[in-house]
Amino acid sequence: MKKYKVYWSIFNLTKATQAEIVNLQNAWTGFSVPIVGSTLIASDAKHAFIASIICGLIDKAISCLYLEEK
């Protein structure tokens, strides 16, 4: 198992995304879609829109990560 040192920087948005970060983003997308869908079903479109904005911001925060192998 590989060990990584995790860095977070807003400037990582302009660099190429690592494969591990892409996998993490895909996992987050798979997790956030049911959240937004269940919010739409249980509540209304306004709350589902807010949930989708929050999930999108978390996705962008994940893309700011950079992993360096130890």
- How many independent structural domains does the chain possess? 1
Q: What is the pLDDT of residue 1?
A: 83
2 has pLDDT over 90 = no
For residue 25, what are the domain limits?
Answer: 4-69
C-alpha count within 13 angstroms, C-beta hemisphere, residue 11: 1
- Which pLDDT tens digit goes with each residue over 4-60? 999 999 999 999 999 999 999 999 999 999 999 999 999 999 999 999 999 999 999
Question: Band of the pLDDT at 3, cuts 50, 70, 90?
Answer: very high
Run of H or E including 20: helix 19-42
